[in-house]
Amino acid sequence: MRIRGREYRSVWMEDGRVCMIDQRLIPHDFKIASYSSVDRVCEAISTMVVRGAPAIGAAGIYGMALAELTGEDLEDAYKRLFTTRPTAHDLKDALDYYLNSEGGPVERADRYCDESAERCRMIGVHGAEMLDDGMKILTHCNAGALACVDWGTALAPMRVARDRGKDVHVWVDETRPRCQGARLTAWELKEEGISHKLLSDNAAGYLLASGAVDMVIVGADRIAANGDVANKIGTLEKAVLAKEYGIPFYVAAPSSTFDPDCPSGEDIPIEERGDDEVTHMFGMGENGVFTRVRVAYEGCPAFNPAFDVTPARYVTGVITEEGTRK
């Protein structure tokens, strides 16, 4: 991904440390966080310094490389990394790859991440073939390069379409409670020079009903064997509305996100996060200082599932590195 004129990946290893873009600070600040222990990598994944299924997988495999380099027990490191984010399947895919492949610690991790980035690039190639000049696309949460090693999943087709001279417009759901759409997706599209407009989550139904959306493309954190899709909370309602109004609803995901051992969406564990993500907001104040404010009364209980499951019947197709599955 290109940021401030320089190419970055979301996660990499440098001088024996796992490095990652601190996504909690974007769009207001840009900093690189680095970690020298598996515990710190686990904390970074849990606290969403890094997020997005393929990027979590990348952080996980570099965590395994770090464990081997520092002499930590690999089985214990696997268990600790595996439990950081239970919904995303790419994490298990990456950890298993590390244990079942050959080569030096960093070599194995780099190879996996190179392959992950290439899968996302090919998602962009196949997805761009479906995009016509002037199309308006709705997306939810952030499934761009920040959520992957590079390129992204849902945003990859827009990037490739742009490179091919197609002018597309992206409607960006804000995606409460952590606002990854507002904070990350809109910022990525600005950096890439792709036309976009931010909307509150509860405006999406009005937008879909108005005829202003030609297609919906979202990412995925896990896809069950029957085609059910777990993705950021709020995806399900967009899929149901898209079906109602006859708008194609596509999921963009690499093969690493498919879980053949998970029979259906009912078997996907849904992570529930803390109340404070719902009762508080975090951003930059008018004085230029990062501020966390409470938007509900003190002590207000909250329900905060991080994901929901969209049944396969609402999915028009899944754009993968091998083409579109329908």
221 among known catalytic residues: yes
DSSP annotation string for 225-276: TTS-EEEETTHHHHHHHHHHTT--EEEE--GGGEETT--SGGGS---B--TH
Tallying the residues shown for the chain, one arrives at 326
Catalytic residue among 150, 173, 201, 221: 221
Matching residue, tokens 């966080």: 33
Residue type, 104: G
* Angstrom distance (rounded) from CA 46 to CA 30: 20
Radius of gyration of the chain (CA): 19
Burial 73-101 (b: 16+ CB within 10 A, else e): eeeebbebbeebbbbbbbbbbbbebbeee
Catalytic residues: 221
